[in-house]
Chains A and B, each alone.
Chain A
Amino acid sequence: MHAESQIREPLILGNKTYTQITDDIIKPVEGKTGKAWYVLFTISTLTFIWGLGCLAYTIGVGIGVWGSNNGVDWAWDITNFVWWIGIGHAGTLISAVLLLFRQKWRLGINRAAEAMTIFAVMCAAIFVLFHTGRVWLDYMLFPLPNQFGSLWPNFNSPLLWDVFAVSTYFSISLVFWYIGLIPDFGTIRDRAISPVVKKVYNLLAFGWGGNARHWSRFEEVSLVLAGLSTPLVFSVHSIVSFDFATSILPGWHTTIFPPYFVSGAVFSGFAMVLTLMLVVRRVYGLQAYITVKHVEYMNIVIIVTGSIVGVAYLTELFMSWYSGVEFEQYAFLNRATGPYAWAYWCMMTCNVVSPQLFWFKKIRTSLVATFLLSIVVNIGMWFERFVIIVPTLCRTFLPSTWNMYHPTFVDIGIFTGTIGMFGFFFLLFSRYFPVIAQSELKTILKVSGQSQKKDAASHSHSTAHAH
């Protein structure tokens, strides 16, 4: 047992014991559901159903019901896809990268952040699957033996890399998440009173026992999966950025895209984690486990990644001027002063200016300010993808192809539908699954618990006197 410096603030507040941690975290699963949950769940479900209706309408009538047109052939579909995939990145970053760096504060938020990753990637998948136009032919994206030759997908294409990257990312995240959930399902199973509940969690817990061998293997699996997920998370958004960067369109054809997309993804993902966790800690009374210090740590990540994104925006502007290529210069002039200038300046304000407010300790430790700014960042990151796609495509090489883009009710319906779907799954998750990885959290109680730290301080003080 190693001691932790007293300078570090405790990560578990109050005088908690192991069994209190279990009680507090499993309370939403065992207890009664509040009214707020039902209200939110109804709203999410209705929005989700509306989105499904819009998808059915798209299938029935054809993709022409979207606002995308001959010039602007990628619009809200790819904007929303990149936005959702980006949001997903924070979950893997928290559970994998912070595990490799041995950051103990990840344990308060990793479970919910991983759930967010999985649901966000599901939302993103809807857009890529449907933007192909004929969703029932999507199996042709995979290298399946067929009777057209055999004609294979083109492995030189970043669009195909994306198929592999996103599906690998989704399935690995799902496995990582579930393996972590098994011990916690075991706890719920062993405490359950109702036979039906016991049966369900017994099925989910896979017979978990928690003996020494299982824990030793569990830790090895977590570590290796974290090691595999870390390059994976960087590769996924790099490959998403290749969808743009390997094209020849001015404004897209730049080498800065992969690092710029990855930091943007982490930036928006942390903002979404904050939005969700600030609600979850309040609704389920988990203030002792998701503390102001956790929020502050996440806000620091937001300053860092937000600043990287800001530098990337400025680098793009500088390089377009410095390159001397007229098309490149026009692309950026058009973004900042063209018909979609309002979107560009909205993006600049939300992503470059607003996160800098977190340099003030008062703001980054204020929960209200954090909640509002996290939503601002998410809006800004949506506009970033919109600005990359629509203003570029509406002013390409041939002025005769220039035209504007207007979303239809179907575009809006599908986008809000995915938000509803995300809410639907996240609410179900928070009601039936433990939102904090309670068995792993117990490992840091002795070194990072508030009263335990206090005891350690007084103990070391008294031994110092004795010498």
Chain B
Amino acid sequence: MAGVITKKVIHGVYDDEVPLLEACKKLKAAGIKIKDVFSPFPIHGIDPIIGVPRTRLAICAFIYGLTGCGLATLMMWYMMISDWPTDVGGKPTWAYFYNVPAFIPITFESTVLCAGHGMAITYLLRCMLVPGARAKNPDPRTTNDKFLILLELPEEKTTEVENLLRTAGAIEVNHKGTVTEKLPY
């Protein structure tokens, strides 16, 4: 078929993260692209090997925090200084600046509220984690004690890669059918 390529889906299953990391390094050296890695817990040091860039969620949290800080300032300035200044025990109500010590706690709380919730919502949406979504792991054992390398390869490379996965210590190499991919041209 013109414009379409067919790739084999291969699962390399490991029972420990050390051989899995070894396999990832070998695959990278052999110039094979790793589609994804599934594990029951975070594997430290895997991100640079399989080409996962550093997440920018912390930058988002910082921006949400600044927003929260700004919103709280605006709200308290409007309510306490501009719209309805009230004399409470002679506290300065004519300028935000003179009254600011009393406003710091709520400014802080609002910063944390917006940064925390904003970041959590961004995280869930970025990972497509929503109530009732279908399980994203291809093999249910990966949330228990198995570690899985997901590969999508052209037909001719499968034997080479299977040997590579096994020599690195894979306990299973499963062929999971094919996927078709449209070529960009």
Contact = CB atoms under 8 A, between A and B. Distances in A.
Interface of A: 1, 17-19, 22, 143, 149-158, 160-161, 164-165, 168, 171-172, 175-176, 179, 182-183, 186-187, 189-191, 202-221, 224-225, 228-229, 231-232, 235, 239, 242, 439-440, 442-443
A1 B18 contact: yes
**Chain A CB within 10 Å — which of B43, B65, B76, B133 has the most?**
B133
A215 B58 CA distance: 15
B30 interface: no
Contacts of A235: 105, 108-109
Contacts of B131: 203-204, 206
Contacts, number: 202
A205 B135 contact: yes
Contacts of A164: 105-106, 109-110
Given A207-B128, A439-B40, 20 more contacts: A17-B145, A154-B88, A156-B88, A168-B109, A168-B113, A179-B123, A189-B143, A208-B137, A209-B142, A210-B136, A210-B137, A212-B36, A216-B42, A216-B47, A216-B54, A224-B61, A228-B116, A231-B112, A439-B143, A443-B41
**Chain B CB within 10 Å — which of A17, A160, A217 has the most?**
A217
Contacts of B84: 149-152
Given A164-B105, A216-B52, A228-B112, A442 B41 contact: yes
A182 B134 CA distance: 13
B39 A210 contact: yes
A59 B113 CA distance: 31
A233 B7 CA distance: 52
B109 A165 contact: yes
B127 A214 contact: yes
Interface residues of B, number: 64
Contacts of A1: 18
B171 interface: no
Given A155-B103, A224-B61, A191 B135 contact: no
Contact of B102 (A155, A189, A191): A155
16 contacts: A18-B40, A22-B145, A154-B88, A155-B106, A160-B106, A171-B117, A204-B131, A206-B131, A209-B142, A212-B37, A214-B127, A214-B129, A217-B55, A218-B42, A220-B55, A443-B44
Interface string B125-151: 011111111111100111111000000
Nearest to B136: A209
A217 B120 CA distance: 10
B115 interface: yes
A439 to B, nearest CB: 5
Nearest to B103: A155
Interface of B: 18, 36-44, 46-47, 50, 52, 54-55, 57-58, 61, 65, 75-76, 79-80, 83-84, 86, 88, 91, 99, 102-103, 105-106, 108-110, 112-113, 115-117, 119-120, 123-124, 126-137, 140-145
A161 B109 CA distance: 9
B119 A221 contact: yes
Contacts of A186: 135, 137, 143
B103 A172 contact: no
Contacts of B130: 206-207
Lowest 10 CB-CB distances: which A-B pairs, in order?
Answer: A209-B136, A207-B133, A18-B145, A190-B140, A206-B129, A152-B79, A215-B42, A19-B145, A209-B137, A187-B143
Contacts of A18: 40, 144-145
A143 B75 contact: yes
Contacts of B133: 206-207
A229 B120 CA distance: 13
B47 A439 contact: no
Contacts of B39: 210-212, 215
A217 B57 contact: yes
**Chain A CB within 10 Å — which of B127, B136, B141 has the most?**
B127
B41 A215 contact: yes
Given A151-B84, A215-B43, A224 B58 contact: yes
B59 to A, nearest CB: 10
Nearest to A20: B145
B71 to A, nearest CB: 11
